[in-house]
Structure 1
C-alpha cells in the first residue's frame, strides 16, 4: 500500500516507468538517476562549448538555467512551480525592502514557504522517502537567504564590522533577474545540492574561479573584466574518483541495508528483549548504512559540479589541484571524526557553512542552540528531527565539558594523545548511532520508547558530564611546555 501511495503522490515524468517495472526501483529514483547522469554528461560543455573565453556570461547563465528548469519539470512535474515560486517571492522582497531589514524578511518568507511545503508533504505522504520538491526547495532556501545576508553585508555594513567569511561573501550589487534565477536553478546542483554561495557562482560564470587561484608564477588580474585565462587544471580524475565512490556507496546501500532495516528498531521484540549492547550495535550499523544513500547522492552531485568547472579551490603545496570548494561531505572525515563537532563539520558541509553564515556568526547569544533550531526547522516538522537536533545540542555541550576537563591529562605525550583520540573517535561512533536513529525513523513515540528502554543512558551521562564532571575535575590550563610541544597556546581548552 505504501508503494501505491508514493506512486500516486509523485508528480514527475512516467516516461521511464518501464525501467522501474523491470528493475524494481521506484520511478522517482529512476528519474533522479537519469537526470543526474544527463547532468554529468552535459556538465563538461561549460568547459568546452560554453567556456568563458568563447561565450558571454549571459549565455552561460541561460544554459544552466534552461537545463535546470527542464530537469526540474522532468523530476517533479507541475510541483516544480514551487521551485520558481519561493525564489520569485524572495527576489521581490530583495528588490522592494530596505537592505537593513531585507535579509530577515527573506529568511522569514523562505522558511514559511518551505514550511508549508514540508507540512503538505507530511500530511499527504507521511514518512515517505519518495523524491519530491522539498529537497531542491531546501537548497534554494539556503541560496536565497545566504544571498540576502551577503547583500545586507555589502550594502549596509562597513568592512571592519564583518568577519573574514562575511567579507569574502559580501555582495555590493543586486543581481539581475537572469543572474538570480540562473543561480537558483543551475542544473549542476538543483536536485540535491551542494549549496553554492553567490560569489562563488558568479566567479565560475565569469571564469574568475581559476584566475583568483592562479599559480604564483602566473600574472593575472582576477578583478579585471578582460578575457585573461590561465591554464586550467582538468577535473577528469577527480570526477572519475567521485563517480566511482558514489556508485560504490549506492551498491553498498542497496545490498546491505535490507539486511539491517532501520524499521527494526520500532519492533516490540527489539525494544524489550534485546540487550543494551545489542541495541546500540544495531543502531550504529543501521544508521551507518543509511548514510551511504546520502554519500551516493552528494558525491555524484559533487562530480557533476566539478565536471563543469565548479568547485575548484586552488592548489595544494605539492601543486595538485583541489576540487573541494563546495564538497558536501568528507566520508572518511565524518566516519573517523574525533568528536561530535569534527564529524558534524564533515557532514552536509554546505549546510554547516550556511548555518554559520546566517546564524552562528550573527547571533549575540545562544549561538549553538539557535543554530540547531534553524537546522531543525529547515529540515521540516517530523518529531524525529527535533529529537536528533535537541540531543545533538546537548551532546555538543557535553563533549565540550569532557574536552575541557579530561583532554589536558592526555597531552603529555603523543602516545597518550593517540589513546585519547581513539577513545573519542569510538565514543563519537556510539553517540552518532544513539542520536541519529530518530532522524531516520522520523516518529516521536517509537524513538522515545527505545530511549526509555535503553534507560536514556547516554543522555544521563551527558547531563553528568555538564554538571558533575567540571566539579570533580575542574578544567585546567595546559602547562606551557606541553602547550608548546603540541603547538597550542597555554590557555584554557574550549
Structure 2
C-alpha cells in the first residue's frame, strides 16, 4: 500500500515553486535549502559564538534551536519523532541501573526506529523520499553511543576498557540542555555524520584546539600574563573543496542516473539478453552511480561541520591542519580500496565506529555476524538490505581466508605485490557491485532472480574460499589478534538514507 508523495511528505511547501522550476522533488529541494542555510549559519558558530567569548550554554542553545528549526522545515509534524526517541532514552538513562541502562537504551531506540521504518514501508513502500527515518538513524547512533559511554564511565574500571572506550568515556550524566543539543545540533542533524558525545563537548567548550595546538605556532606572549597564544587554523579552504566536490557529485548523479537506473535489472531485456559479463558490468556501474548521492550529502554535511569549527583533528606530520575527525567518507580510498575491508572502512565511517563501539568490542563471540545484523536492523526491513548484509558477512570471511592463504606468496616481490594489489582492487569493485545492488533495489525476489541469472557465481566462490582454499593452500601462520580486530570494521557496507 503506497501513499502519494503529497500525502506522505509533511515538510514545508514554501519552495514548491523551486521544485516546479527545477524538476526536483520538493523533499530534495527542502533538504538542499536546509543544508545551504546551515552552511551559511556555520561560520556564526565559529566566529561570533567562539568558545573564548561565548558560554557553553549559549553555544548549546544556538545549535539546538537551529537544528529544531531545520527539522521542522524539512519534516513538518513528523519532526515530533526527533524529540520522542531521545526523550524516551533520556528517561531510561536517568532512571535505570547504569549496569543495564545501555542495553535498555539500545532496545528502546531500535524498537522506536523500527516502528518508523515499518510505517514508512507500509505507507510509502520503495520510495526514496527524504523523510524522518534518516535523522532518526543518526539520533539512534548518538543516544546509544552516549549510553554505552556512560555505562563505561559509571560502572567499569579503567583497566577493563579498550583504548577506544577510554577515549569516549563519559563520567557525568549530561544535563537536559547538553543532551538535546547533542541530539539536535544543526550541523549533522539531517544526514550525519555521527558525532560522539566527548567530541561534541570538546567542540562546544573549545577543548579540541587546545589539545591539538601546533608545536610551531604556539608561543608565550610576554605582554599577556605569559599565556600561550595558539593560532587557530582556518577551515575555509577545506570547506570550499568539499562543497565543490559535493556539487560535482550531485551533477554526476543527476546526469548519469537516467542512463543507469537500478530498476533496469528487473527488466526481461537485462535478465535474458545481457551476457554474464555485461550484467556484472552494469551492476558495478549502476551501484557506483548510486553512491554519488551519498557522496553529495556527506561531503556537504562535512563542510557544514568544518565551517562551524567542528571536525578539527590536529595536524599531520607536515604541520597541516586536519579536518577529518568526523568525516563520513573518503571517496578515493573507497573506490580504489585494495580489499573489501579497506573499502568498507572508508564508507560511512561514523557508523563503522558506532558499530565497533556498541557491538564488535563488547561481544565475545560472533562479532562479525552480530555487527552485520545490527547494521541491517538499523537500516530497516527492506529485504534487499538483508541480502546485502548477509552477502557482506560471507565475503568478509571469504576475503580474510583468501588473504591468509594467498597474500604471503606475493609480498616479497615488488612487481608481484603490485599485480596482487591491482587484482584485489578490481575484484573488490566487482564484489561491491554484486552485493550492494540489492540494497538499492530493495526487493527480495527481483534480487534473487538477478543472482540466479548470475548463477550466484561469487557466492559459490566465496564458499569455496572459506572451505576449500585453506585446505589447498594452508595459511602461512595464524592471524594475529590485531589482524582479527582490524579485519571487521564493517558498517554493513551502506548507509543511512535510502
Q: So what's the TM-score if we normalise by structure 2? A: 0.93
CA deviation after TM superposition for structure 1 residue 271, in Å:
1.1
In structure 1, the residue matched to 2:403 is 403
Counterpart Cα distance in 2 of 1:234 and 1:427: 40
Pair 1:106–1:468, CA change in 2 (3 A): same
Q: Secondary structure at the match of 2:187?
A: helix
Q: How far apart, CA to CA, are the structure 1 residues paired with 2:415 and 2:210?
A: 44
Matches of residues 472-491 of structure 1 in structure 2 within 5 Å?
A: 472-477=472-477
For 2:433 and 2:191, locate their aligned partners in 1 and report how far apart those are by CA, in whole Å: 24
Deviation readout 1:265-317 (Å, 9 max, x if unpaired): 01122112211001000000000000000000000000000000000000011
Contact 1:408-1:477 within 8 A present in 2 as well? no
The separation in 2 between residues aligned to 1:187 and 1:219, in whole angstroms, is: 35
If asked which structure has higher relative contact order (CA below 8 Å, sep 6+), I would say 2
Count of matched residue positions in the alignment of Structure 1 and Structure 2? 476
Instruction: Report the counterpart of residue 468 of structure 1 in structure 2.
Output: 468
C-alpha distance in structure 1 between counterparts of 2:151 and 2:229, whole Å: 32
CA distance in 2, matches of 1:460, 1:171: 46
Q: 2:17 aligns to what?
A: 18
Which residues in structure 2 correspond to 1:53-202 (within 5 Å)? 53-202=52-201
Maintained 8 Å contact 1:477/1:490: no
Query: How far apart in 2 are the matches of 1:253 and 1:116?
Result: 31
Structure 1 position 431 matched with structure 2 position 431: yes
Q: Is the 8 A contact 1:72 1:80 kept in 2?
A: yes
Aligned-pair CA distance for 1:230: 2.3
Q: Structure 1 residue runs of 4+, over 6 Å off?
A: none
CA distance in structure 2 between the partners assigned to 1:166 and 1:412 by the alignment: 37
**Is residue 35–residue 71 contact of structure 1 (8 Å, CA) maintained in 2?**
yes
Unpaired runs of 5+ residues, structure 2, are 221-226, 488-498
Partner residue in 2 for 1:416:
416
1:122-148 per-residue CA deviation (whole Å, 9 max, x = no partner) reads 000000000100000000000000000
Distance 1:228 1:110, change over 3 A: farther
CA distance in 2, matches of 1:219, 1:389: 52
Residue 338 (structure 1) aligns with: 338
Give 2:208's aligned residue.
209
The question of whether the paired residues in 2 share the 8 Å contact of 1:211 and 1:229 is answered with no
CA distance in 1, matches of 2:97, 2:219: 40
The answer to whether structure 1 residue 308 and structure 2 residue 308 are counterparts is yes
Is the Cα contact below 8 Å between 2:287 and 2:437 reproduced in 1?
yes
Q: What TM-score, normalized to structure 1?
A: 0.94
Q: State the shift of 1:228 in Å.
A: 7.3
Preserved CA contact (<8 Å) 2:339 2:424: yes
Match of 1:282 in 2: 282
**Secondary structure in structure 2 of the residue aligned to 1:73:** helix
Distance apart, 1:76 and its partner CA: 0.2
What is the CA-CA distance between 1:490 and the residue it aligns to? 13
- Once the two structures are superposed, the pairs formed by residues 439-458 of structure 1 within 5 Å of their partners are 439-458=439-458
Q: Is the 2:219–2:229 Cα contact (8 Å) retained in structure 1? A: no
Partner of 1:245: 245
For residue 357 of structure 1, report the CA deviation from its aligned partner: 0.5
1:131-170 deviations in Å (ceiling 9; x for gaps): 1000000000000000000000011101111000000000
- Counterpart of 1:36 in structure 2 is 35
1:292 aligns with 2:292: yes
Aligned equivalent of 2:390: 390
1:218-257 matched pairs, under 5 angstroms: 218=218, 230-257=230-257
Could you say what the CA RMSD is over the residues aligned between the two structures, in angstroms?
1.8
Query: Could you tell me how far apart the structure 2 residues matched to 1:313 and 1:299 are?
Result: 17
**Which residue pairs with 2:224 in the alignment?**
none
| SS class of match (1:258) | coil
Report the alpha carbon displacement of residue 337 of structure 1 after superposing the two structures with TM: 0.5
**CA displacement at 1:463 relative to structure 2:** 0.4
